Amino acid sequence: MGLLPFKRGAPAAPPTTTKRLGDAAEDAALAHLRRAGLRLVARNYRTPGRGGGEVDLIMREPDGTLVFVEVRSRSRASHGGAGASITFAKRRRIIFAARHYLMRLPAPPPCRFDAVLVEDEIRWLRGAFMLE
């Protein structure tokens, strides 16, 4: 097994991971939504236990609408790009997590499901999918 070259005094660059890229896409989406006037309610909301769901961002519109946001990023447009990666199974897990979140509230507000696609540019799709 060969050793990688090491330059003394030069800090090693952190490896680029899918997690880091996803976090950067969420940060960009959050900044975009905040500039549009939405307020962050929760980030990476997960249901307890295995096999549940997760919502990347839960935001609130100025009119009180609760917005469950799925953030998707793709470096290449092959396989349909970021939007095509929101499969039926993914939507089902997001909806499951949203319902879990809403059950904690005394009276659920109006809500919708948006997607923010981070590719060459940021595209915000309001009402990207509905409860199924």
Q: Which CATH number covers residue 53?
A: 3.40.1350.10
| Per-residue confidence (pLDDT) for residue 15, from 0 to 100 | 53
Residue 104 within any structural domain of the chain: yes
Residue 3 within any structural domain of the chain: no
Q: Residue 3: which pLDDT band, with cuts at 50, 70 and 90?
A: very low
Residue 7 within any structural domain of the chain: no
| Per-residue confidence (pLDDT) for residue 84, from 0 to 100 | 58
- Examine the pLDDT at 74 and tell me if it is beyond 80: no
pLDDT digits (tens, 9 = 90+) for 24-52: 889 999 999 999 999 999 999 999 877 78
Residue 13 within any structural domain of the chain: no
| Per-residue confidence (pLDDT) for residue 88, from 0 to 100 | 84
- How much is the mean pLDDT over the chain? 82
The range of the structural domain enclosing residue 27 comes to 18-129
Q: Helical H runs in 4-130? A: 18-35, 81-84, 88-103
